[in-house]
């Protein structure tokens, strides 16, 4: 959870770097369904996240056959954490210039249990900034706790709450919350935590390195996103004993151990209510194998009907991915996720002509390589043999469960 794991920090060279004319004001990325760092929107086609050098190097050395299944890597920016005259915090990205950033080694992983959510009051990033002409349709999200709603009462954020599509959080007890907010509740939570961390570290202005990645949901008007943590093991080879033990426990107590996959986050557009339904990682961690199957069903259900047209496109991508990963000897994708994406409004036309319809667009992408390794990568001492069996098991489970749901609902 600690941001020190995920950031490289240098001192900001104020005059050269923090020049508003050249900067891009980052906004919270509203379609973040999982993860712990705050994903930011850089432009319509690009998201950015705090840089971990392992992940950066991994993207830079991806085998060509995996590129179809990963976001395009777009480089690095320096991000400044700036308060504006109203006391609001802005994250502003500038072109990365090596000499302007101290480039320390990744700080050692801090190994303490997840921090309790801070209730310290905090001004939020101004998402309505003039220097960013972001015209994306803004759904309204329904929040997961009163803390986040408090935040949303910030006058600046009221300005962006003009979307027509609400979101709803389905919490661990399957109760709908009635609070309405502008972002996926998980995105809001991560963003708030990150600002807290950056604020407590930022006694003086600093530059943070962020990774620029293709926004893989940008083709989708109403993106339905499923984040699946893949594999039977989540800790990297460099994890401390305590961290490894915690991660192993989470695997043992979830479908990771049995199926090689667990739900880490989800949003799915509901045609009947006009909401996105959202699940978070805590919900996903508590699911049994049967619960996992039901969550997959829910991901493919728009509140009115099961999207049967999605089975084949998703299955064929998953099968292709299995065949690619089976050839990646020594690769291990610990703690990485698989995103599945489709459009919640891209419906087959009524009238039985579905067979002639083009297949709906779906996407399947691997993300989050902060703990990945392969033979010869960096100075990694542990070398693994053969393909990532845990990951492949997760893909095979996913394929069988989808086939089962398809067959049961012919």
Ligand X SMILES: Nc1ncnc2c1ncn2[C@@H]1O[C@H](COP(=O)(O)OP(=O)(O)O)[C@@H](O)[C@H]1O
**Residues engaged in binding ligand X (CB under 6 A):** 32-37, 39, 47, 49, 71, 213-217, 225, 227, 265, 337, 339, 367-368, 370
Residue window 35-54: x/- pattern of binding to Mg ion, with contact defined by CB under 5 A: x-------------------
Q: In terms of CB distance, is 2 or 89 closer to ligand X?
A: 2
Q: Are 338 and 228 in contact (CB under 8 A)?
A: yes
Three-state DSSP state, 364: strand
Distance in Å, CB of 368 to ligand X, minimum:
4
Distance in Å, CB of 219 to ligand X, minimum:
11
Residue nearest to ligand X (CB): 35
Binding flag, residue 368, Mg ion (CB under 5 A): yes
Distance in Å, CB of 214 to ligand X, minimum:
6
108 burial via Cβ count (<10 Å: 0-12, 13-18, 19+): exposed
Nearest alpha carbon to residue 274 among 142, 135, 128, 127: 142
> Would you give the distance in Å from CA 188 to the centre of its chain?
12
Structure tokens at 181: 């907010």
Distance in Å, CB of 267 to ligand X, minimum:
8
Distance in Å, CB of 3 to ligand X, minimum:
10
Q: In terms of CB distance, is 302 or 372 closer to ligand X?
A: 372
Torsion of CA 316, 320, 325, 326, to 10 degrees: 100
CA distance 302 to 183: 20
Binding-site size for Mg ion (CB under 5 A) equals 3
Three-state DSSP state, 100: helix
Q: Which of Mg ion, ligand X, none does residue 141 bind (CB under 5 to 8 Å by kind)?
A: none
How large is the greatest C-alpha to C-alpha distance in the chain, in angstroms? 64
Q: Which of ligand X, Mg ion, none does residue 215 bind (CB under 5 to 8 Å by kind)?
A: ligand X
Q: Which of ligand X, Mg ion, none does residue 71 bind (CB under 5 to 8 Å by kind)?
A: ligand X
Q: In terms of CB distance, is 37 or 298 closer to Mg ion?
A: 37
Backbone angles phi, psi at 239, to 5 degrees: -70, 145
CA distance 49 to 72: 14
By the criterion CB under 5 A, which residues form the site for Mg ion? 35, 337, 368
């Amino acid at each position: 959870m600690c941001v020190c794991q995920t950031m490289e920090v240098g001192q900001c060279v104020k005059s050269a770097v923090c020049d508003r004319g050249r900067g891009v004001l980052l906004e919270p990325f509203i379609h973040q369904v999982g993860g712990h760092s705050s994903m930011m929107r850089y432009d319509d086609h690009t998201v950015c996240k705090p840089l971990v050098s392992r992940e950066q190097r991994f993207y830079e050395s991806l085998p060509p056959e995996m590129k179809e299944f990963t976001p395009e890597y777009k480089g690095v920016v320096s991000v400044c954490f700036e308060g504006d005259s109203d006391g609001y915090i802005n994250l502003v990205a500038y072109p990365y210039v090596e000499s302007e950033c101290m480039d320390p080694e990744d700080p050692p992983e801090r190994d303490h249990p997840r921090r309790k959510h801070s209730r310290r009051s905090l001004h939020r990033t101004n998402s309505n900034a003039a220097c960013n002409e972001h015209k994306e349709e803004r759904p309204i999200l329904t929040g997961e706790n009163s803390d986040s709603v408090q935040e949303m009462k910030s006058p600046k954020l009221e300005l962006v709450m003009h979307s027509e599509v609400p979101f709803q959080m389905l919490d661990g007890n399957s109760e709908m919350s009635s609070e309405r907010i502008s972002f996926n509740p998980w995105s809001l939570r991560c963003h708030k935590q990150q600002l807290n961390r950056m604020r407590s570290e930022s006694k003086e202005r600093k530059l943070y390195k962020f990774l620029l990645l293709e926004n893989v949901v940008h083709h989708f008007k109403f993106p339905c996103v499923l984040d699946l943590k893949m594999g039977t093991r989540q800790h990297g080879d460099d994890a401390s004993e305590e961290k490894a033990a915690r991660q192993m426990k989470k695997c043992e107590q979830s479908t990771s151990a049995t199926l090689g996959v667990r739900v880490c986050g989800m949003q799915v557009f509901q045609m009947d209510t006009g909401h996105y339904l959202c699940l978070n990682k805590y919900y996903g961690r508590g699911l049994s194998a049967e619960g996992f199957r039901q969550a997959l069903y829910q991901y493919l259900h728009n509140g009115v009907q099961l999207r049967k047209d999605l089975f084949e496109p998703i299955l064929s991508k998953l099968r292709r991915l299995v065949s690619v990963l089976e050839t990646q000897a020594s690769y291990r994708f610990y703690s990485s996720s698989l995103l599945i994406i489709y459009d919640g409004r891209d419906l087959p036309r009524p009238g039985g002509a579905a067979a002639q319809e083009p297949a709906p667009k779906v996407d399947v992408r691997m993300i989050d390589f902060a703990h990945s390794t392969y033979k010869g990568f960096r100075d990694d001492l542990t070398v693994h043999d053969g393909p990532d069996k845990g990951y492949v098991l997760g893909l095979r489970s996913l394929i069988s469960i989808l086939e089962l749901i398809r067959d049961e609902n012919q």
